[in-house]
Amino acid sequence: MALLTILHYPDERLHKVARPVGAVDERIRQLIDDMAETMYECSGIGLAATQVNVHERVVVIDVSEEKSALTAFVNPEILERRGDTVYEEGCLSVPGIYDKVHRSEWVRVRALDRNGEPFEIETDGLLAICIQHEIDHLDGKVFVDYLSQLKQSRIKAKMKKREKHTL
């Protein structure tokens, strides 16, 4: 397994729409393993392939306290949404920034697992929020895109300044 480099906002590659995975093969399983290792190392609860500059529809999520419930979603699609909720979100691609985002409270999702087997889940709470957040990444959207133009500008400036100081 390998740690992958996470792209940071406002990197334009974060806005690239991911293409569907044709077949879940050893390469995709290795990507899932590397993404999971990267997510855990960064203390995240979700990571989309887009965030590691792989523009294929792959997501890993683990919202468990013990970090023992890893789920891989290949070619995920939201089939149904219900309700509205507001949740303060953060993102490994926008480190140190948190803000409230409106999301659906409940979702029904279809995807392939790490073996290419189809599955569906219905969920609410943090898992539903995380699934929506990560699928947004696959669609070229970062949670910051839901915020006002003023907030987006401030976050861009802050991230660019932080990047200059780390180089």
Of 8, 12, 52, which Cα lies nearest the Cα of 30? 52
Question: Could you give the CA distance from residue 138 to residue 32 in angstroms, rounded to a whole number?
Answer: 15
Is 134 annotated as catalytic?
yes
8 is in an annotated binding site: no
Active-site residue (options: 37, 117, 134, 163): 134
Placement of tokens 């979700």 in the chain: 46
Question: In whole angstroms, how far apart are CA 12 and each of 16, 27, 105, 140?
Answer: 7, 25, 29, 9
In sequence order, what are the beta bridge partners of 19? 56
Question: In whole angstroms, how far apart are CA 122 and each of 86, 106, 108?
Answer: 19, 7, 4
137 is in an annotated binding site: yes
Give φ, ψ of 111 to 5 degrees: -160, 180
133 is in an annotated binding site: yes
Write out the catalytic residue numbers: 134
